[in-house]
Amino acid sequence: MSENSANSTPQPNGPSKEHKLLDVLVGKWNAEGITKDGRTVAIHAVDTYEWLPGGYFMMHRTAARVGDDEYESVEIIGYDAELKAYPMRFFDSWGQTGTYQATVHANIWKIVGDSGRATLVVSDDGQSMTANWEMSPNGSDWHPWMDLKLTKAT
């Protein structure tokens, strides 16, 4: 997040139209997929997106099984008007933390971080999404990581 955004006063008219673009994510999603990083492992997850009070930030929780391993994470998503992007910060049960930044055009979200990136496509009816993730050990050589299909449960 830019320094000015972190210190700015609250918007007098509430969250912006850019904040409201996150509404498409709100709810509980069942996710199924596979890893593609040299081994194929099944992924079964429940992703939940909900607004924090005020409507400026969204919380994203994931509870997953990746093969035989349990995985949980929490992520906070906001909007930075100066960058015209959605900063995302996650923390997980494997001791990892990271920062991503997302942009959106129509129903396609591009998510980029130092070692991971994704294209998230939301269906026209808002009831399903696909996420294709890539990873990079150095920020320039990208390799398939995982593919997910999410279906809205509520």
DSSP string, 76-129: EE--BTTTTBEEEEEEETTS-EEEEEEEEETTEEEEEESSEEEEEEE-TTSSEE
**This prediction's pTM:** 0.89
Cα–Cα distance for residue pair 49/36, rounded to 1 Å: 25
Residue 1: predicted pLDDT: 45
From residue 130, give the alpha-carbon distance in Å to each of 34, 101, 144: 12, 18, 14
Residue 39: predicted pLDDT: 87
Name the residue with tokens 């496509």.
121
pLDDT, one tens digit for every residue, the chain (154 residues)? 444 445 455 556 789 999 999 999 999 999 999 999 888 999 999 999 999 999 999 999 999 999 999 999 999 999 999 999 999 999 999 999 999 999 999 999 999 998 999 999 999 999 999 999 999 999 889 999 999 999 999 7
**Residues ≥6 apart with Cβ < 8 Å to 8:** none
Tell me, what CATH number does 78's domain have?
2.40.128.20
Paired strand residues for 34: 42, 147
Domain range enclosing 36: 3-152
Token digits of residue 31:
């996710």
Cα–Cα distance for residue pair 51/152, rounded to 1 Å: 16
Token digits of residue 105:
């055009």
Name the residue with tokens 């008219």.
13
Residue 3: predicted pLDDT: 45
State the total domains in the chain: 1
Residue 4: predicted pLDDT: 46
Helix (H, G, I), strand (E, B) or coil at 144: strand
Residue 34: predicted pLDDT: 98
